C-alpha cells in the first residue's frame, strides 16, 4: 500500500507492507541509481538482528555506519561522528542516506542529511512501531541535555519504506512505546477508532490489526503535515501528550524511559487539563489510565521528580511562546485544540496526576 505525503515543499510516499523491502526499494530505483554513494545508518541492535535480511534484499552496493542503539544515538557526538564518516567516505551532494532503524536512528540520520553540505537526500526504512510516527513528516533532531529534540530541522525524506515484518523482533517494551503514538493518533482524530482500541490488548495485536492501526496513524499524520508542515497551527496536535511527556523523558535521562512510555504519562496529564478546558470527564481520564495500566504502561516515574524539578524541562517545550506554555488538549476524544496554560495551573494538574496514578 502507498500513502502519499504532500507538503508544500515536497511529495513522497510511505510504502507500507509486509516482507516487501525488495519491492519497496524498486519504487525509488531512479533516484537511487542517480546517487554516487549509498550510506545506510543503523543501530547496533537493528544491524545485529536484521543485517542478513537487509543485505540480501537491498539490491545495491552500500556502506554502513552503525550507531549506538536507541536514544543514545541522538547526541552531538554521534552527529559529529556521522558527519566525519560521510566526509571520510568522500560523500557529496549526490550521496543518499538510508535510516534503517527506529525513531532515534531516523531522527539523527534525517538531521545529518539535512545539514551535510546543506542537505542531501535521505530515505526512512523504519523498524519499529513507533516509527510509523517518526519516519513520516520530516521532524529531524538530536537531543540536548537540557531538552528533548532541541537541535533539528524540518527535512522531508525521499520515501518511507515500511516493512512491518521487521517489527516481529521488537521487545515488548518497544511494542508498548510504539503503540502509545498510535493511541495518540486515535485520540486526536477519531473517537470510534479510540473506542475500538481500548477494547484490545494493544501490546498483542494480530499482524492484520497492527497493519491497520499503523496505516490509520500514518494517514492521520500525513493529513496534518500536508496542512501544516512546520508546526505553525494544526501540526501542534501531533504533540498531544508531549509537553509533560518530554519533561519526564528528559528529567529521567534520555533512554531510561522509552519515548512512548513518557508520552503515555503526558497524555493522562493532558486529559486532566482537558477536564478543565474541554469537555473531558474524570471518568474518561480514569478509564484511559486504567486501559494504560492494563496494557503495562508505568506511571511510577512521575514520583521520581517533584513538579519543580520537571518545570525547567516543561518550560523548554517548543510550543511555548513568550514564556507561556501551550498544551494540546482535547475538547472531546478526536477533537484537539491548543490552550495556553499558566505554571500555577500546571502545578495543580501535576498534583492531581500524582493522586490518581
Ligand X SMILES: NC(=O)c1ccc[n+]([C@@H]2O[C@H](COP(=O)([O-])OP(=O)(O)OC[C@H]3O[C@@H](n4cnc5c(N)ncnc54)[C@H](O)[C@@H]3O)[C@@H](O)[C@H]2O)c1
CB of 269 to ligand X, least distance (A): 18
- Please tell me whether residue 298 adopts helix, strand or coil conformation: coil
Residue 181, interface with ligand LNCXM5UN (CB under 6 A)? Answer: yes
Distance between CA atoms of residues 72 and 293, nearest Å:
27
Rounded Cα–Cα distance for residues 263 and 190 (Å)? 18
Half-sphere exposure of 335 (CA within 13 A, CB side): 7
What residues have CB less than 8 Å from 170, skipping those under 6 apart? 127, 128, 129, 178
* Contact status: 176 vs ligand LNCXM5UN (CB under 6 A): no
Q: In angstroms, give the least distance from the CB of 243 to ligand X.
A: 14
CA distance 246 to 341: 17
176, interface contact from ligand LNCXM5UN, ligand X, none, CB < 5-8 Å by kind = none
| Residue 148 annotated as lining a ligand binding site | yes
199 to 238: interface string for ligand X, x by CB under 6 A: ----------------------------------------
- With a CB cutoff of 8 Å and minimum separation 6, the contacts of 315 are 323, 325
Q: Judged by CB under 6 A, which stretch of 28-36, 84-92, 193-201, 232-240 contacts ligand LNCXM5UN?
A: 232-240
Candidates 32, 104, 210, 214; binder of ligand X (CB under 6 A) is 104
Q: Which is nearer to ligand LNCXM5UN, 32 or 102 (CB)?
A: 102
Which residues are the active-site residues?
A: 118, 139, 181, 221, 231, 235, 239, 242, 246, 259
Q: Which residue is associated with the grid cell 552500500?
A: 62
Q: Is 106 known to sit in a ligand binding site?
A: yes
- What is d(CA 184, CA 205) in angstroms, rounded to the nearest whole number? 17
Q: Is 263 annotated as a binding residue?
A: no
Say if residue 272 carries a ligand binding annotation.
no
Distance CA 315, CA 91 (A): 39
- Smallest CA-to-CA distance from 60 within 21, 5, 4 is with 21
**By CB under 6 A, is residue 115 in contact with ligand X?**
no
Q: Does 134 bind ligand X (CB under 6 A)?
A: yes
Is residue 107 a contact point for ligand X (CB under 6 A)?
yes
Please count the other Cβ atoms lying within 10 Å of the Cβ belonging to residue 8: 10
Q: How far is the CB of 250 from ligand X (least distance, A)?
A: 10
Residue 229 interacting with ligand LNCXM5UN (CB under 6 A): no
Contacts of 148 (CB under 8 A, 6+ apart): 246, 249, 250, 254, 313
Among 139, 176, 185, 216, binds ligand LNCXM5UN (CB under 6 A): 139
Q: Which residues bind ligand LNCXM5UN (CB under 6 A)?
A: 133, 137, 139, 148-149, 181, 231, 235, 238-239, 242, 246, 318
Binding-site residues for NAD(+): 103-107, 127-128, 139, 148, 166-169
Amino acid at each position: 500500500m502507498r500513502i502519499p505525503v504532500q507538503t508544500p515543499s515536497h511529495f513522497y510516499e510511505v510504502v507500507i507492507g509486509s516482507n516487501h523491502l525488495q519491492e519497496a526499494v524498486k519504487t525509488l530505483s531512479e533516484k537511487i541509481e542517480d546517487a554516487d554513494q549509498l550510506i545506510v545508518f543503523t543501530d547496533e541492535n537493528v544491524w545485529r538482528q536484521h543485517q542478513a535480511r537487509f543485505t540480501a534484499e537491498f539490491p545495491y552496493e552500500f556502506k554502513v555506519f552503525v550507531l549506538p542503539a536507541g536514544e543514545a544515538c541522538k547526541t552531538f557526538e554521534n552527529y559529529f561522528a556521522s558527519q566525519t564518516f560521510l566526509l571520510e567516505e568522500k560523500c557529496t551532494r549526490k550521496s543518499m542516506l538510508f535510516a534503517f532503524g527506529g525513531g532515534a536512528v531516523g531522527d539523527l540520520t534525517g538531521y545529518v542529511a539535512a545539514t551535510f553540505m546543506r542537505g542531501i537526500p535521505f530515505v526512512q526504512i523504519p523498524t519499529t512501531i513507533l516509527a510509523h510516527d517518526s519516519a513520516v513528516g520530516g521532524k529531524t533532531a538530536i537531543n540536548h541535555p537540557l531538552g528533548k529534540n532541541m537541535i533539528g530541522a524540518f527535512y522531508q525524506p525521499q520515501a518511507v519504506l515500511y516493512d512491518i515484518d521487521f517489527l516481529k523482533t521488537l521487545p515488548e517494551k518497544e511494542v508498548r512505546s510504539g503503540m502509545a503514538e498510535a493511541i495518540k493518533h486515535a485520540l486526536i482524530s477519531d473517537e470510534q477508532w479510540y473506542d475500538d482500541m481500548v477494547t484490545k490488548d494493544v501490546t498483542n495485536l494480530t499482524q492484520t490489526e497492527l497493519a491497520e492501526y499503523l496505516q490509520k496513524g500514518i494517514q492521520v499524520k500525513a493529513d496534518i503535515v500536508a496542512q501544516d508542515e512546520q508546526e505553525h497551527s494544526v501540526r501542534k496536535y501531533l504533540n498531544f501528550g508531549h509537553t509533560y511527556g518530554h519533561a519526564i523523558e528528559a528529567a529521567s535521562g534520555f533512554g531510561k524511559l522509552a519515548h512512548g512510555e513518557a508520552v503515555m504519562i503526558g497524555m493522562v496529564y493532558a486529559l486532566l487539563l482537558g477536564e478543565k478546558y474541554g469537555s473531558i470527564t474524570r471518568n474518561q481520564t480514569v478509564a484511559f489510565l486504567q486501559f494504560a495500566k492494563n496494557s503495562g504502561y508505568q506511571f511510577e516515574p512521575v514520583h521520581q521528580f517533584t513538579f519543580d524539578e520537571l518545570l525547567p524541562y516543561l518550560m523548554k517545550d517548543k510550543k511555548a511562546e513568550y514564556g507561556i506554555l501551550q498544551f494540546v488538549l482535547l475538547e472531546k476524544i478526536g477533537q484537539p485544540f491548543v490552550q495556553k496554560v499558566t505554571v500555577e495551573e500546571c502545578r495543580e494538574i501535576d498534583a492531581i496526576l500524582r493522586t490518581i496514578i
